[in-house]
Structure 1
Amino acid sequence: MADLQEYKEPPAFNAPSVVIALVAAIFAVFLLQAYGGRELSGDLLIWGSLIPARYAPAVDGNLYFFPGGILADLWTFITYAFLHGGWTHVIFNSIWLLAFGTPVARRIGTARFLTFYLICAIIGGITHVVIYAGELTPVVGASAAVSGLMGGAARFVFLAGGPLGMIGTGQTGLPGAPRAQASILQALTDRRTLIFIAIWIGMNLLFGITGLTPSGQIVSVAWEAHLGGFFAGLLLFGFFDPIKTSPSGGPGNVGYGEWKG
């Protein structure tokens, strides 16, 4: 008879290392912004934020030239997601990154997760630039990328075997359930997923249009970038979600053994 392995309680804080590293990078950049001096803070903003006037004549009719040229025109679609406008901004984004990045990273792995995260940031940034062509106001924050993680998570968290798969089913748990494929059709025909999407869009419209934040402050919110990132994550997640196979080599449609692939 095989020896039974001693049961160990899961750690209270067990986010994947890639998620921890992203949060650490975001905080490191923010600390440079906040305490590196006015000159460094200004350089980070002009070199790293997303400024729609880089890509079209400004709303005042002038054509501005920004540092970095064509290369900065490209890298700012990524670097803006590592800059933030204040402690509240960076803390809330980090909390949501931990909450939604953890299940997504566990499901698709480190390399796919990073690629997915950055693509959502880029598409969110493009959405904002297209809508606000020529605006001189810089955009900063990981919100579009984190919104993409929320959209990706919506594809599978309510499925059988997902973190929230038992909600609304009358079951207390789904031990041994196979990992269901996160198809877009299945997600958009699941009532729980649709409710989650509707609530998320409603909150973004509320906070985006009113400028009111959960902390009670009135700020300018790039909610269109959030929507762009969210729908990028929702629609593109399937391309990053590898199909698992059972030990016999078949598709992941049985609930026994260890998964591989």
Structure 2
Amino acid sequence: MSSPRSDRPVNPLPPVVVALFLVIIGIEAVFNLGARGLIGGPEAVGWRQGAIQDYGFNSDIFGWMVQNNVWPMTHVKRFVTYLFLHGSFTHALFAGVMLLALGKFVGEVFAQWAVLVLFVTSAVVGAVVFGLAMPEQQRWLIGAFPGVYGLIGGFTYLMWLKLGQMGAQQFRAFSLIGVLMGLQLVFGLIFGANRMWLADVAGFAAGFILSFFLAPGGWARIRAKIRHR
């Protein structure tokens, strides 16, 4: 007899991925309803900008914390909270769809806690790199894409392993990130440079490296290689 899991035509989404998606879309829905005057009254029109000011990641604030070695929780929280703020419904929708797609693939292999750690840690690394770069024309970082790119790093790691097991060329695992970076370049040339790609690339790199430790058996595999050497 086959197991109930194998009888399902589509594997369910990992709960942690669904939860992250619902938070992103829920916050965006509140902003949209407020901007349309459906909830919150006249002041609701400025909810999005107010939230970005209070919870978005800002390179100037980060630079001030680094320079003075002062890390108040009011600003430290920005390393994570910026993930759930977006500039528009389209921005949030694209991020949410990619989160579901990549989260489903990675979540079928990684543990639930590992998916969350991968998403959040990649976003933190992305924010740090963005803050250190200190873009002159763009000091605010918002959106889930650095965390999503961390999941792309996890996806790339899994493809890298699979290609290695098949004896195929493992550099093919980086095709997805190559295409996405190419699109970033094209959009930048057409619509103007957007420095958020710094956080995306850093998030991807962090996600790929973290996957060596977070994937099932990853740490044991690394120790085995060290002992073999």
The TM-score by the shorter chain falls in which range? 0.7 to 0.9
TM-score by length of 2: 0.76
Distance in 2 separating the partners of 1:219 and 1:32: 29
CA gap of 1:133–1:203, structure 2 versus 1, over 3 A, is closer
Q: 3-state SS of the aligned residue for 2:158?
A: coil
Distance in 2 separating the partners of 1:124 and 1:14: 29
Residue among 233, 237, 241 paired with 2:207: 233
What amino acid does structure 2 have at the position aligned with 1:106?
E
What amino acid does structure 1 have at the position aligned with 2:172?
R
TM-fit CA distance, 1:72: 2.5
Q: Percent of counterpart pairs with the same letter?
A: 24
What amino acid does structure 2 have at the position aligned with 1:240?
L
CA deviation profile, 1:73-108 (whole Å, cap 9, x unmatched): 211010000001111111111111111111212211
TM-fit CA distance, 1:135: 6.2
Distance in 2 separating the partners of 1:211 and 1:73: 34
Distance in 2 separating the partners of 1:242 and 1:41: 39
Number of aligned positions between the proteins? 203
TM-score by length of 1: 0.68
Aligned residues: CA RMSD: 3.0
What amino acid does structure 1 have at the position aligned with 2:16?
V
Bigger relative contact order, structure 1 or 2, given CA contacts below 8 A and separation 6+?
Answer: 2
From the CA coordinates, give the structure whose radius of gyration is larger. 1
CA gap of 1:219–1:84, structure 2 versus 1, over 3 A, is farther
Distance in 2 separating the partners of 1:85 and 1:91: 11
Distance in 2 separating the partners of 1:22 and 1:6: 29
Q: Judging by fraction of residues, say which structure has more helix.
A: 2
Distance in 1 separating the partners of 2:183 and 2:177: 10
Residue among 49, 55, 59 paired with 1:48: 55
Distance in 2 separating the partners of 1:136 and 1:5: 55
Identify unmatched segments of 5+ residues in structure 1.
58-68, 170-179, 181-185, 213-217, 245-250, 252-261
Identify unmatched segments of 5+ residues in structure 2.
35-43, 65-70, 222-229
